[in-house]
Amino acid sequence: MFVATQTFAPLGHSVRVIRDEEKGTIAWKIKFRDGREKNFLSPITTKPWGSTIPDFRNEAEPTAEARNSELLAFEPESIRLDDGGLHTLESNGLKLVEGVYY
Amino acid sequence: MKTIIEDNIDILVVGAGLGGTGAAYEARHWGRDKKVIIAEKANIDRSGAVAQGLYAINCYMGTRWGENNPEDHVRYARMDLMGMVREDLAFDMARHVDSAVHKFEEWGLPLMKDPKRADLPADDLGKGAYMREGRWQIMIHGESYKPIVAEAAKVNADKTFNRIMVTHLLMDDAQDNRVAGAVGFNVRTGNYHVFKSKTVIVGAGGASNIFKPRSVGEGAGRVWYAPWSSGSAYGLLIEAGAKMTQMENRIVLARFKDGYGPVGAYFLHLKTYTQNAYGDEYESKWFPELAERVGKAYLDTENQHFSHKPIPTCLRNHAFISEVAAGRGPIHMVTVEAFQDPHLEEVGWENFLGMTVGQAVLWAATDIDPKYINPELTTSEPYVMGSHATGCGAWCSGPEDISGNIPEYFWGYNRMTTVNGLFGAGDSVGGTPHAFSSGSFTEGRLSAKAACKYIDDGKAEGINVSQSKLMSVKRKSSNL
């Protein structure tokens, strides 16, 4: 028996990790104190590392219209992946109420 | 100790967790020629609350599949916080957040797909709908969530200063209440850093360790939120004179005991449930008393099920604490049923391995296999933060198209605090709970676009910090 307040994680166990950016995977091997083992494998990325991140300096300048709108980069198309626009109070039939209400 | 001065910055990002990375990325989109600098206390690849990984994205609307509209999320957050939300900011975050998540997937973040939803129309991403954990949460393989997202900030910033702990903001000489940069020191070399900047976006973290952690003995130091979250999100803003909101709010969480493993995927996806020491369901016993205290608007025991209203987190925690105080603890999570399914067992373990590995270590060390033993839960110590189920932070301007008619909610620039040129993201923005990782990234993006506009509108002209002021700030930060 171990004293729970002092050594609640006694030695004799291990959690081994192998993380591989080339393969895009991470592998864990868990060893319990009593010798049981469990193995798990997960993806960490689906793309070659960093290959799909845009450097905006190489992209076309945003338009003045976009600057004056509420849209962020790649919007609105990246929100719904269709022709739909940005949700607004008007488009959703809403009204903002001032102050605290119940 | 050297003094290193970085001058002529347009946008200084203080703290590059999910909020700060979103800010640096978006700042480059709207400010192609602007000087964008990041000051990060750790290393951007593994910093902030997502440093170790995260196995769910807890804020995703799914508007592309017609799952939710932004106002649904506002109602949910409002209910969970018992009314304490800035609805304009919450709506704004929710209407943009899906675009951030879609970009994360494009950048390589493995989002789990639900085979049962493969019949949904294929689109650009093509592979069927995301695996839902709950109404707002999707499941991911997120051990490398932070390094993937950090790439987007590193590529687009002019320079990322790692290991810089920002201690104070600089204020302009000429105009009261206008920010002019920040100072800090390198936690490895001790070098003193001065950043002179037209705008500052504070993406720093909330506060762990204000209250004594419940972890004891050799577990001391283990906390739920990032142990390095030292409350800079608030310390920097309060000293600069920013108006704050909901700073009296505290978050307490139900977590697996000692390891602080999160319970979200267990409750929502694995369908595990809690019981007291006698093996009884206890939560609903406390509801009539709680309903009397908070009113039917927040806890309607008869109609809760039909109205699909969530029970506010604080009330569920209250039931937990009351049950333990009544002598019927400990509370256990019943995992032994769900873990007989090999798929669910795998999800349960990977959830911790890729996010809070200490919980898996603890189970291995104590021979707790949740397939055969129901692990114990406890409630955490309280935290002050603003992006999980709490909304502590600065009172910020909303977006013009939503908040524009209400002066108390709008003063020109989205997510700008009441200090000119000083913006927030993530934990530093008040009244926007339930942003989580994706929402914090989104808030960073909103701040950055507004900061670019602030500069382009000429609001940052003629900023200056006198040598004498620099010296006095240096004295202050050296005497910490």
Complex-level ipTM: 0.94
Name the more confident of B127 and B102: B102
pLDDT the model gives residue B124:
47
Q: Do A26 and B83 touch (CB under 8 A)?
A: no
The CA–CA distances, whole Å, from A25 to B94, B212, B344 equal 31, 37, 20
Work out the pLDDT band at B270, boundaries 50, 70, 90.
very high
Give me B243's structure tokens. 């108006």
**Distance between CA atoms of residues B102 and A48, nearest Å:** 17
State the Cα–Cα distance between residues B157 and B166, nearest whole angstrom. Answer: 18
Q: What is the DSSP secondary structure assignment for residue B429, as one 8-state letter?
A: B
H or E segment and range at residue B305: helix B304-307
Per-window interface: A 49-78 vs B, CB < 8 A: 49-57, 59, 61-62, 67, 70, 72-76, 78
Judging contacts by C-beta atoms under 8 Å, the chain A residues touching residue B353 are 15, 17, 28, 40, 42
The residue ranges of every structural domain in chain B are: 3-109+135-249+385-473, 254-379
What CATH class does B254-379 carry?
alpha beta
- Confidence at B423, pLDDT banded by 50, 70, 90: very high
DSSP string, B406-472: -TTT-SSSTTB-SSBTEEE-GGGBTT--S-HHHHHHHHHHHHHHHHHHHHHTTTTTT----HHHHHH
Task: Please judge whether B64 and A53 are an interchain contact, meaning their C-beta atoms are less than 8 angstroms apart.
Answer: no
Asked whether the predicted pLDDT for residue B127 surpasses 80, the reply is: no
b/e code B358-385 from CB counts within 10 Å (16+ = b) = bbbbbbbbbbbbbbeebbebbbbbebbb
The answer to whether residue B123 scores a pLDDT higher than 60 is: no
Q: Which residues of A touch B366 (CB under 8 A)?
A: 8-10, 33
The answer to whether residue B128 scores a pLDDT higher than 90 is no
Dig out the tokens for B36 from the structure.
């964008």
CB contact under 8 A, B123 and A57: no
Give the tens place of pLDDT for each residue, B358-401. 999 999 999 999 999 999 999 999 999 999 999 999 999 999 99
DSSP-based three-state secondary structure for B394? strand
Q: Please report which confidence band the pLDDT of residue B78 belongs to, taking 50, 70 and 90 as the band edges.
A: very high
Tell me what the pLDDT averaged over chain B comes to.
94
User: Which residue in chain B is spatially nearest to A75 when comparing CA positions?
Assistant: B99
pLDDT digits (tens, 9 = 90+) for A67-92: 999 999 999 999 998 888 999 999 99
State the Cα–Cα distance between residues B50 and B166, nearest whole angstrom: 20
- Domain B3-109+135-249+385-473 in CATH 3.50.50.60? The answer is yes
CB contact (8 A) between residue A81 and residue B102:
yes
What residues 17-36 of chain A have any CB closer than 8 A to a CB of chain B? 17, 19, 21, 24, 26, 28, 30-34, 36
Contact B28 A62 (CB under 8 A): no
Phi, psi of B111 (to 5 degrees): -90, 130
Across the interface, whether the CB atoms of B364 and A78 are under 8 A apart is answered no
- Distance of alpha carbon A61 from alpha carbon A64, whole angstroms: 9
CA distance B84 to chain A (A): 9
Q: What is the pLDDT along chain A (102 residues), one digit of tens a residue?
A: 444 455 678 899 999 999 999 999 999 999 999 999 999 999 999 999 878 898 999 999 999 999 999 999 999 999 998 888 999 999 999 999 988 876
The stretch B130-152 carries a mean pLDDT of: 95
